[in-house]
Structure 1
Amino acid sequence: MEEIIKKESPKEVILSVRDLRISFRSYAGKVQAVRGITFDLKKGETIAIVGESGSGKSVTAKSIMGILAKNAITEDGVISYQGYDLTKINEEVFHEIRGKKIGLIFQDPMSALNPIMTIGKQITEVLLLNQNMTKEQAKTKALSLMEEVGIPDANRRFHQYPFQFSGGMRQRIVIAIALANDPEILICDEPTTALDVTVQAKILDLIKQLKKEKNLSIIFITHDLGVVANIADRVYVMYAGKIVEYGLCTEIFLDPRHPYTWALLASMPDMETQGKLMAITGTPPNMVNPPKGDAFAARNAYAMKIDFIEEPPYFPISDTHYAATWLMDERAPKTELPPILSQRINRMLAEEAEYLERIK
């Protein structure tokens, strides 16, 4: 996969992950959470890492931040950032990177915030710890950050506690804390999971706005492909610790090739698609003993014999789009998209054509 990525555009790469493998010691044996993933994050872009719970998305994020659990083992791989391999540096060096250069937004703002500390103190504490500021300067910067993320009446709310904020407002505070030290990379780990749809949309709009204003590079982690439709430049689909398909956002949504990507897209509800939503049958594999061949084979209605025997390589669809599925092999039988997904893609293509015709 490393050779594939080298063919992409020469835009500046600021974070590079190569063949990352992470396991966890457990009473049942070694859990193979991440099994050799490779990707690049380029300056000013947003990549999305998408997959079900347990696919290895959050483990990947935590490895970049250096906050893996004590029972974690980095078996192999390199995470390159500013000349450092983040899998090998000590805590002293990480202290200069974590929060200052790479910020993290957690998915649950209530557990990310200290319930017995005022919001203002939690933001200023980050500034005082990492920047050469007086308390007054830190307060001024904290109020400015609160206003930036859309907290109304910041002077009054500075002295309030997390329980006095709604879920959406708490998430805005978490974003403010993540941006306090002006990082160049922002990792968003399921930042909208606990929020209702309308608040979710506002938080996504805020992240897009802040990305543009601050020229941020973003890694967006989610289980919901619908969330990243209008925010990601490139999408990586993860299953059982591996990247099974990746490409430009439009390629993943309009020309998906891996059956797991089909299943994720077809399970997304919308107002137009006729018929029942497609469910992903079965359960993810036991990662203590990952299955031989394609890990998705047991849940894949399109699986062939080879899927249970040999792991598929990455097949190229375009210079930027690759899928690890034997269905792409020239010897494989021709398959059709699930009807519900085919309807959705045809509708999106028709809407795009109509829009292009209107703006001529």
Structure 2
Amino acid sequence: MEKVLEVKDLKISFKTQNGILKAVRNINFDLYKGETLAIVGESGSGKSVTSRAIMGLLAGNAIHEGGSIFFENQDLMLIPEEHFHRIRGSRISMIFQDPMSSLNPISRVGNQIMEALVLKLKMPKVKAKQRAIELMTEVGIPEPEKRFYQYPFQFSGGMRQRIVIAIALANDADILICDEPTTALDVTIQAQILELIEKIKKERNLSVIFITHDLGVVANVADRVAVMYAGKVVEYGKVDEIFYNPKHPYTWALLSSMPSVDTDAEKLEAIPGTPPNMVESSTNILKGDLFAARNKYAMKIDLESEPPFFKVSDTHYAATWLLHPDAPKVEMPAAVKKIIEKHEQRGASNEKH
């Protein structure tokens, strides 16, 4: 497969009044042509900071402490801001979480799509208008010639998100980053937006990075999954490996807390505790496995030493001391076993038919 993006040993921190906040800590992953990579984790795990680093949209108090993001043989972390516009929106586009805050409330939606075409591609306005209407049709906006002249407040949440997707697609980008694009939408509209992104990905052979806190969302759209916790990737593998052969206790916890039609609502589990304080100081030293305080399977070594990645298969890795040859054998949670059993039953049923 053709590699289109490579993140190597990336470290991003932020200056705060209380000290240096370690947002992304030495993460690595690749993105291949035509695939969807899902990055999953709780709020504060470093998902969005990673996506903004790729887009060159880090805040002014951000510190690049090390690592690289390679795209077309160039390191995006070294490109000056005044030159980044050649990539941002043209080669790599992004769909943000809240479509209302992504759109200008006092500008007609058609003009906002046209702006991307006129500024980036130097397209004449007449041609840009025609192309904008074609994009609105492509993303499923009914009566695009009429709605071209309307304002964002005249659109529903789902339709506004479709406009944001049209803007992201305007310049034929190679990579599309979706930063929790369905969070602000109801369940029915969520499904429609996910189907639209998947349809466009296949038609355009796009590479997609899908950022989410919900493992359930990625089950049907991702090819590979990177699970993030406290600024690190803790498990990495194909979607079936993460869902049906998970190895990290944090992945177990995410799967156990995921509702499904088979779940007894009264027994839905929650991850105990809260994410750690990532501001490093003399009184708060980031040491060991930072999930240890919330992990009932934690051992003494988890509090003292950060686990390396252990190889589960050629495509599956997990950073947990439970995979060390000398670690005690533990059973994964019953809720996770149930998910795997249901998967095996569905597989057996499909084979019969």
- Please state which band the TM-score falls in when normalised by the shorter chain: over 0.9
What SS does structure 2 have at the residue aligned with 1:230?
coil
Residues in 1 aligned to 2:292 and 2:135: alpha-carbon distance in whole angstroms: 47
What SS does structure 1 have at the residue aligned with 2:77?
coil
The question of 1:231 aligning with 2:221 is answered: yes
Residue in 2 that maps onto 1:336: 331
2:118 alignment partner, one of 128, 136, 139: 128
Residues in 1 aligned to 2:56 and 2:100: alpha-carbon distance in whole angstroms: 22
Residue in 2 that maps onto 1:357: 352
The more displaced of 340-349 and 101-110 is: 340-349
Residue in 2 that maps onto 1:285: 276
Residue in 1 that maps onto 2:303: 308
User: Deviation per CA, 1:39-76, whole angstroms, max 9, x where unpaired?
Assistant: 11011111000000000000000000001000001110
The question of 1:215 aligning with 2:197 is answered: no
TM-score, length of structure 2 as denominator length: 0.97
Residues in 1 aligned to 2:258 and 2:14: alpha-carbon distance in whole angstroms: 31
Question: Would you say the 8 A contact 1:285–1:291 is kept in 2?
Answer: no
TM-score, length of structure 1 as denominator length: 0.95
Query: Pairwise mapping of residues 4-43 of structure 1 onto structure 2 (< 5 A)?
Result: 11-43=1-33
Q: CA deviation at 1:271?
A: 1.4
Q: CA deviation at 1:329?
A: 1.0
Q: CA deviation at 1:93?
A: 2.4
Residues in 1 aligned to 2:338 and 2:34: alpha-carbon distance in whole angstroms: 33
Residues in 2 aligned to 1:75 and 1:291: alpha-carbon distance in whole angstroms: 16
The question of 1:189 aligning with 2:179 is answered: yes
Q: CA deviation at 1:291?
A: 3.1
Residues in 2 aligned to 1:87 and 1:135: alpha-carbon distance in whole angstroms: 34
Residue in 1 that maps onto 2:158: 168
The question of 1:325 aligning with 2:320 is answered: yes
How many percent identity over aligned positions?
64
Residue in 1 that maps onto 2:241: 251
Q: CA deviation at 1:357?
A: 2.2
Q: CA deviation at 1:187?
A: 0.4
Question: Would you say the 8 A contact 1:23–1:30 is kept in 2?
Answer: yes
The more displaced of 32-41 and 87-96 is: 87-96
Residues in 2 aligned to 1:151 and 1:192: alpha-carbon distance in whole angstroms: 17
State the 4+ residue runs in structure 1 displaced beyond 6 angstroms: none
| One-letter identity of the residue aligned with 1:348 | H
| One-letter identity of the residue aligned with 1:31 | L
| One-letter identity of the residue aligned with 2:14 | F
Structure 1 gaps, min length 5: 1-10
Residue in 2 that maps onto 1:146: 136
| One-letter identity of the residue aligned with 1:138 | A
| One-letter identity of the residue aligned with 1:194 | A
Number of positions where the alignment pairs a residue of Structure 1 with one of Structure 2: 348
Q: CA deviation at 1:333?
A: 1.2
Residues in 2 aligned to 1:212 and 1:98: alpha-carbon distance in whole angstroms: 22
Structure 2 gaps, min length 5: none
Residues in 2 aligned to 1:136 and 1:278: alpha-carbon distance in whole angstroms: 56
User: Deviation per CA, 1:60-114, whole angstroms, max 9, x where unpaired?
Assistant: 0000000100000111001111121100111232111000000100000000001
Query: Pairwise mapping of residues 83-98 of structure 1 onto structure 2 (< 5 A)?
Result: 83-98=73-88
Q: CA deviation at 1:315?
A: 0.8
Residues in 2 aligned to 1:234 and 1:192: alpha-carbon distance in whole angstroms: 19
Residues in 2 aligned to 1:136 and 1:316: alpha-carbon distance in whole angstroms: 55
Residues in 2 aligned to 1:132 and 1:157: alpha-carbon distance in whole angstroms: 24
Question: Would you say the 8 A contact 1:24–1:72 is kept in 2?
Answer: yes
Residues in 1 aligned to 2:167 and 2:290: alpha-carbon distance in whole angstroms: 38
What SS does structure 1 have at the residue aligned with 2:70?
strand
Question: Would you say the 8 A contact 1:273–1:343 is kept in 2?
Answer: no
Q: CA deviation at 1:133?
A: 1.2
Residues in 1 aligned to 2:85 and 2:38: alpha-carbon distance in whole angstroms: 26
Question: Would you say the 8 A contact 1:17–1:78 is kept in 2?
Answer: yes
